[in-house]
Structure 1
Amino acid sequence: MGFEHELIIPNEGFPFKLFQFEGKDGHYVREKHWHRSIEIFAVFEGTLAFFINEEEYPLGSGEFILLNSNEIHSISSPEANRTIVLQIPMNVLRNVETGEGLILFTHSPKRQDSKIMELIGSMYQELQERGSEYEWKVQSDFFMLVYLLLTKYRKREILPEEIRHYRKLNRLSTITGYIRENYTKELSLEMVADRFGYSPSYLSRMFRKYAQTNYKTYLQNVRIEYGFQELANTDHTIGEIALNNGFPNQKAFTREFKKKYGILPSEYRRGQKNAKD
């Protein structure tokens, strides 16, 4: 994908979102994006490659990556894997004391890494099995995990430029949230700039500076991401999917899909069908 702001909706009844990574089957690329939530990718089988602000963080089985709120990242998942993703909205930490108004965590390995993996694995299993009083066990594991994040992984010294950067992304995330809600419509740079009171040139510079991509690429990647989800989860024809997600025709959708995922939409769908047979 391009560079987008991702909206996080927690699991019902819990203050977090926990799910199996959508790139579990491989042949998956998620381009640069960010969100206001903290995010942990915990790899239990297989491998993933993470890129945070252009720096690569390869992950193997038993390893995780901890992503900060508003931290620009992308993901490459060429092979099948079993990865559990935990997303924690920042409002969960709203009562944590912070003089600079910003909470950041380190990417460096810690002695507690195996405990973090254990807690995430336990939470996911409990949510799948839903045994007696499982909600209490899940909540208990979650708050222990947050305790470890705050006491063992939190950065205590935050540079002024980091604060400025994250505040700018907060502003841009409002704009990209609007784009994600309206991506099926005509959304020219001029239209979006006018809606938010910016000139087109200023909005273009915002995308390039803080999202490290251009507006058109960002919009196309939002559309192709949603198109991928529709392809994977419905029986709609490829032509229907193209039109449903803002593409002018099937050819345009197929071209962008091949560019991002390395295979044609028809090939991906055949692979899904064969896996089920």
Structure 2
Amino acid sequence: MKHEMISPNEHYPFKLFSFTSRNPDRLISTHWHESAELLYCLKGNLEVRFPQVTYLLEPGDTLFINSNIIHSSRSPLPNEVFVMQFPLHFLQEMTQNQYNEQFLFNLNPSKGQDSRIQQLLDQIFHEYQTQELAVNLLVKSQTLALLALLVKNYRIPLASQQSIKSLKHLDRLKQINDYVQENYYQSLKLEHVAEVFNYDPAYFSRFFKKYMGISFSEYVNTVRLEKAYYQLRDTDMTVMAIAMANGFFSVKSFYNVFKKNYNLSPQQYRKKYFS
């Protein structure tokens, strides 16, 4: 789990960008950020996983990820997604210090597609890169109109959001996952990591699964796969060397974990998408 720092775009008090993934099943491992995030799926699919629920975004779907909420994502199909990231202090200033104190936003694909929100997002997406003062002001006004719609129609009392219970554990989860990020290439047994952080192994297993949404071993493999993905893409290292460099300790274990997540062997995936 990585904590991401969000830097706003030039001329805006928030960050706007789009990303595309041409490789099915591209993984973005578990992470969190103080900034809230709005995802707008333009093409293809994006799967976003929280500890208690998973959403599959299709074209036209929107998803709001509240501040400090643990999540991960993958791309089952090639996609294009527009992203708006709002620093916490900006949202609090815009909502008279009520966001994250009195309410959160609850906007997800199960709510259906809101044509008013889609229209504003389409306008922002097509205009945000224009370097003209008038357009910059228009994008800011459209963003405030978007927030007004969220406040009016998609806010929920803070106490009713069950996943907020994980916030009190973020510091400890961050310590644990910093340890995984630093030691993923070694043998990371659950019992050893539990001992490092003074947990009973059985309790640690339940604790991690409850607040991360996946088991400890699954998370370690996710981190290893993310590291291996870049080496498959960016280097000429052999599959055996990549497996050894990322803590799998055998080609067979790397092969099994990779195929389970990507439905192809590492060799097949490299040949299909990176040749």
**What TM-score does the superposition give when structure 1 sets the normalisation length?**
0.73
Question: Which residue identity is paired with 2:3?
Answer: L
Give the alignment of 1:178-257 within 5 angstroms.
178-257=179-258
Higher mean displacement: 238-247 or 220-229: 238-247
Report what 1:60 is aligned to: 58
Identity score, percent:
29
SS at match of 2:158: coil
Aligned length: 265
Report what 2:118 is aligned to: 114
Q: Which runs of 5+ in 1 are unaligned?
A: none
Runs of 4+ with >6 A deviation: 132-135
Report what 1:84 is aligned to: 82
Question: Which residue identity is paired with 2:25?
Answer: Y
CA distance in 2, matches of 1:248, 1:155: 48
CA distance in 2, matches of 1:117, 1:60: 15
**What TM-score does the superposition give when structure 2 sets the normalisation length?**
0.74
CA distance in 1, matches of 2:64, 2:124: 12
Distance 1:93 1:262, change over 3 A: same
SS at match of 1:263: coil
Report what 2:37 is aligned to: 39
Higher mean displacement: 88-97 or 262-271: 88-97
Higher mean displacement: 211-220 or 175-184: 175-184
SS at match of 1:267: helix
| Contact 1:239–1:250 (8 Å) recurs in 2 | yes
Give the alignment of 1:84-163 within 5 angstroms.
84-93=82-91, 95=93, 97-98=97-98, 101=101, 103-107=103-107, 108-109=111-112, 110-118=114-122, 120-122=124-126, 126=129, 131=131, 140=140, 144=144, 147-148=147-148, 151-152=151-152, 154-159=154-159, 162=162, 163=164
| Contact 2:51–2:212 (8 Å) recurs in 1 | no
Q: Which runs of 5+ in 2 are unaligned?
A: none
CA distance in 1, matches of 2:237, 2:102: 44
Deviation digits for residues 93-148 of structure 1 (CA, Å, limit 9, x no counterpart): 4555239736521123545312442255246x61xxx7567995698379537744
CA distance in 1, matches of 2:171, 2:57: 28
| Contact 1:27–1:262 (8 Å) recurs in 2 | no
| Contact 1:106–1:153 (8 Å) recurs in 2 | no
Report what 1:27 is aligned to: 24
| Contact 1:11–1:17 (8 Å) recurs in 2 | yes
Displacement of 1:260 after TM fit?
0.5
| Contact 1:62–1:117 (8 Å) recurs in 2 | no
Over aligned residues, Cα RMSD in angstroms?
A: 3.8
